[in-house]
Amino acid sequence: MTKEMKKILVTGAVGQIGSELTMELRKRYGAENVIATGRKTQPSEELRNSGPFHFIDVNKIETVEEMIQKYDIDTVYHMAAILSAVGEKNPQLCWDVNMNGTINILELGLKYEMTRVIIPSSIAVFGSGIPLDNTPQETVLKPTTMYGVTKVCGELLCDYYVKRFGLDIRGLRYPGIISYETLPGGGTTDYAVAIYYEAVDKGKYTCFVREDTKLPMMYMPDAIEGTIQLAEADFSKLKHHSDFNHAAMSFTAGELAASIKKYIPDFEVSYEPDYRQEIADSWPNSIDDSAAREEWGWKPQWDLDAMTKDMLEHLQERKEKGTLYR
């Protein structure tokens, strides 16, 4: 029997995924039962006013433990992480936040006999030696970024805690996530979000990867749905735990631009690859998520053109209100 989640702590709740995940969890489990936390960025008014919010530092275990005790937490969604591009600028910080933060959450999970711990991974676990198309669930994991190294170690650590201590941990390898609520912070796939903002704002965009760069991507509603679906899945049916490939669509930067041009015909894109090109080149073009489909029923809803239409409508509305970048 899968135990009920009653009091949920979200770390990284001010981040791109955390902010929308928190709002959805509050809808489903009750606002007062979802404790949002961040490290220093101020939360939006919506996030702060819709339920409990606190500043913590996942690297300072006592600040996390205080939350667990105060709210009698039984479930953690550990979304706090340093992403790939920032990680390459500051590898030690990336290691510190991603590894020490993760082991702190796992240790507290054991100490407080948590019902569930959700710790996401990323397509960044992949690197040299993989088949680039439809990269399988099980393949060599040799990332070439510090972010990828921490995500591979994180997956292994989580699986170790499942096997050794019986802790219920789940995680998925997110592709690039596209959304209009909160901007991503320092990832390689950020161009796929920035391009929409700039299309609406200026009608042109300079992309930091080549036109033919193809990566797995997903619209935020699918990412949130998939994350919660995995968290609620029957544990006894899971053969994998912390490393599910999680896919929706794959497209090149050029195909993304062409999709936007269907709605904004004058949109102009130029390409000036920087250091992030090498990171993008080390990741798959597309990934095989059949384990997620078989073990917990994953099925994405959004494709490129439907996402483009929705993104542009929301951003256009915000531009008209003068709150495009908030």
Binding mask 56-85 for ligand SER (x = CB under 6 A): ---------------------------xx-
Kindly determine how many residues on this chain lie close enough to bind ligand SER according to the rule CB under 6 A. Answer: 11
| Beta-bridge partner residues of 55 | 38
Query: Shortest gap between Cβ of 298 and ligand SER (angstroms)?
Result: 17
Q: How far is CA 23 from CA 116, 199, 228, in A?
A: 19, 27, 12
Among 161, 174, 197, 296, binds ligand SER (CB under 6 A): 174
Q: Name which of residues 129 to 158 contact ligand SER (CB under 6 A).
A: 147
Residue of 68, 92, 95 whose CA lies nearest to 81: 95
Distance of alpha carbon 41 from alpha carbon 104, whole angstroms: 21
The answer to whether 312 touches 263, Cβ cutoff 8 Å, is: yes
For ligand SER, the closer CB: 144 or 316:
144
The answer to whether 190 touches 177, Cβ cutoff 8 Å, is: no
Residue 147 annotated in active site: yes
Query: Shortest gap between Cβ of 74 and ligand SER (angstroms)?
Result: 27
For ligand SER, the closer CB: 73 or 215:
215
Tell how far CA 251 is from the center of its chain. 18
Regarding 124 and contact with ligand SER (CB under 6 A), the answer is yes
Among 115, 122, 213, 242, binds ligand SER (CB under 6 A): 122
**Residue with the closest Cβ to ligand SER?**
187
Regarding 256 and contact with ligand SER (CB under 6 A), the answer is no
Distance of alpha carbon 194 from alpha carbon 185, whole angstroms: 11
Tell me which of 71, 112, 147, 174 is the catalytic residue: 147
Phi-psi region of 249 (alpha: psi -120 to 50; beta: other; left: phi over 0): beta
Regarding 102 and contact with ligand SER (CB under 6 A), the answer is no
* Strand order across the 116-118 sheet: 53-55, 34-38, 8-11, 75-78, 116-118, 169-170
Give the range of 119-127, 153-161, 287-295, 309-317 binding ligand SER by CB under 6 A.
119-127
For ligand SER, the closer CB: 84 or 282:
84
Binding mask 179-218 for ligand SER (x = CB under 6 A): --------xxx-----------------------------
What is the number of other CB atoms lying within 10 angstroms of the CB of residue 208?
A: 20
Tell how far CA 202 is from the center of its chain. 27
Query: Shortest gap between Cβ of 63 and ligand SER (angstroms)?
Result: 25
* Alpha-carbon dihedral angle through residues 96, 101, 106, 108, given to the nearest 10 degrees: 130
Which residues are catalytic, by number?
A: 147
Q: Which positions touch ligand SER (CB under 6 A)?
A: 83-84, 122-124, 147, 174, 176, 187-189
